[in-house]
Amino acid sequence: MSALNDQITAELAASHQYAAIAIAYDAQTLPRLAGFFYAQAVEERNHAMMMSQYLLDTGRPVRLGAVDAPRGDFADHIEPIRLALEQERTVSARISDLAGIAREEGDYRGEQFIQWFLKEQVEEEATMSALLEVAERVREFPMTLEEYVAREHPLDQGADPSAPPAAGGAL
């Protein structure tokens, strides 16, 4: 399934971008936003590893593609969140396409595998959308945004027990 290999690369690119966003927030001494995006970077990397494990488990080759350099310069503290929401919307469309391909090809195992990612994308888009709404609302007070992230997105939320296994284990 070459489309799943392409998605693995897209997930790794998303991880790379989230790491760049986290570093940008760290440089601005916004530790809660930095921590949130560092965690997102790990989550996206784990998504790529879940997809890799699925391909390995089904006897298909895993091919990692090139990942472009992420964007690291932002006009303000809100622009990275807007970029993250756009990125999640793009990933949602790609995951939906994967589900459609699996269904079209009669790949019932693939379709069942992708279901978890469809659910995950609903959560990811909702999280980024709410974060952007709050960021816009408190634009002049970034520390209020830090308080929101600390309250609503604690760093250690534990693993989702329904998540597919990741190659190498979820690190």
SS3 string, 14-64, reads HHHHHHHHHHHHHHCCCHHHHHHHHHHHHHHHHHHHHHHHHHHHCCCCCCC
Condensed to tens digits (0 to 9), the pLDDT of residues 139-165 reads 999 999 999 999 998 876 667 788 888
Instruction: Find the helix or strand (DSSP H, E) in which 118 lies.
Output: helix 108-137
On the question of pLDDT at 169 being above 80, the answer is: no
Condensed to tens digits (0 to 9), the pLDDT of residues 67-96 reads 999 999 999 999 999 999 999 999 999 999
Per 3-state DSSP, the chain is made up of helix, strand and coil in percentages (nearest 5) of 70, 0, 30
pLDDT of 154 reads: 82
Tokens of residue 42, six digits:
């790990």
Q: What are phi and psi of 11, to 5 degrees?
A: -65, -40
Residue 75: is it exposed, middle or buried by C-beta count within 10 angstroms (0-12/13-18/19+)?
exposed
Condensed to tens digits (0 to 9), the pLDDT of residues 10-38 reads 999 999 999 999 999 999 999 999 999 99
Domains and CATH numbers, the chain: 2-61+73-152 (1.20.1260.10)
Question: Does pTM surpass 0.75?
Answer: yes
On the question of pLDDT at 168 being above 90, the answer is: no
Show Cβ contacts of residue 44 under 8 Å, excluding neighbours closer than 6 positions.
11, 12, 14, 15, 18
Residue whose C-alpha is closest to residue 50's, from 84, 16, 12:
12
Show Cβ contacts of residue 27 under 8 Å, excluding neighbours closer than 6 positions.
none
pLDDT of 159 reads: 73
Where does the pLDDT of residue 114 fall: very low under 50, low under 70, confident under 90, or very high at 90 and above? Answer: very high
